[in-house]
């Protein structure tokens, strides 16, 4: 990719960040809703752990950390990024993108990264405040763990974007996006470990989830942060994340090319 192309995509990322800031009221409302959801899940698990020292191999301190990391991993690519892609398809503005000398997928990924700068930063601030009122949060002591976690989190963004992008492209064959979005969210939250750790699943479902790309979004970053995977195992998990990220990227390209051909054939 040339320097000129990189400059264009960087400009798209900056514009996406500015859009989030411009419509900050909508973003703040969504962010507060996610915060309330985090508090609800926290108190739910607090009740589950009442009188128990360990559940499913997780202590209460580990579970508190798991919930915070899950919130961070989920918030760096939120509703804004998802609806911006499907919205372009449903309102027909995608036709203008076909005329631009830019790759549609790369442009949408740039928008996602731009919005993620604010979303991730806000989430990190909130989690820092939240953690300051909690005791027993399990934090790594090795700088290497933090480095591996950040790399894993970046890979998780790529994987989640791949899943979101494929789901959004289904709008080419649909008159609405809400059903697609909520189905995608339900499947992703369940099989990524966002609702409950994969270790809580029945053996057959856990094995299935570990073979699917969704676990790369939540399960892998949290396992690395909780130090439940050694350095060698963490590198293997990150390599698997990278594999799924690349695979989903090319799957998105193939689906886009197919969708555009269908639109052209039908005169759209």
pLDDT tens per residue, range 51-99: 888 888 888 888 988 988 888 888 776 666 667 788 888 877 777 777 7
How does pLDDT run across 185-236, given as a tens digit for each residue? 889 989 999 888 998 999 999 999 999 999 999 999 999 999 988 899 999 9
Query: How high is the pLDDT of residue 12?
Result: 73
Q: Computed over its alpha carbons, how large is the radius of gyration of the chain?
A: 19
Higher pLDDT, 121 or 69: 69
Q: Which two tokens stand for residue 173?
A: 């064959």
**pTM of the predicted model as reported, rounded to 2 decimal places:** 0.86
Q: What is the DSSP letter of 103?
A: -
As a dihedral over the C-alpha atoms of residue 50, residue 54, residue 57, residue 63, rounded to 10 degrees, the angle is: 50
């Amino acid at each position: 990719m040339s320097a000129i192309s990189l400059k264009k995509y960087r400009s798209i990322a900056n514009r996406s960040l500015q859009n989030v800031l411009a419509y900050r009221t909508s973003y703040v409302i969504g962010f507060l809703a996610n915060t309330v959801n985090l508090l609800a899940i926290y108190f739910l698990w607090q009740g589950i752990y009442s009188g128990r020292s360990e559940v499913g191999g997780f202590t209460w301190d580990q579970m508190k950390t798991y919930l915070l990391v899950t919130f961070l991993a989920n918030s760096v690519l939120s509703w804004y990024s998802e609806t911006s892609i499907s919205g372009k398809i449903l309102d027909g503005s995608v036709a203008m993108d076909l005329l631009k000398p830019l790759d549609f997928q790369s442009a949408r990924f740039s928008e996602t990264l731009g919005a993620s700068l604010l979303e991730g930063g806000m989430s990190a601030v909130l989690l820092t405040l939240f953690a300051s009122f909690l005791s027993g949060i399990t934090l790594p002591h090795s700088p290497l763990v933090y480095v591996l976690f950040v790399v894993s989190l970046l890979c998780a963004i790529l994987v989640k974007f791949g899943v979101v992008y494929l789901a959004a492209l289904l709008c080419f064959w649909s008159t609405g996006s809400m059903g697609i979005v909520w189905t995608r969210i339900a499947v992703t939250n369940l099989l990524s470990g966002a609702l409950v750790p994969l270790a809580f699943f029945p053996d057959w479902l856990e094995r299935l989830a570990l073979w699917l790309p969704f676990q790369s979004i939540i399960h892998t970053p949290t396992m690395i942060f909780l130090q439940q995977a050694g350095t060698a195992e963490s590198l293997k998990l990150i390599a698997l994340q990278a594999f799924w990220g690349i695979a989903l990227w090319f799957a998105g390209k193939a689906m886009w090319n197919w969708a555009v051909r269908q639109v052209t054939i039908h005169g759209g």
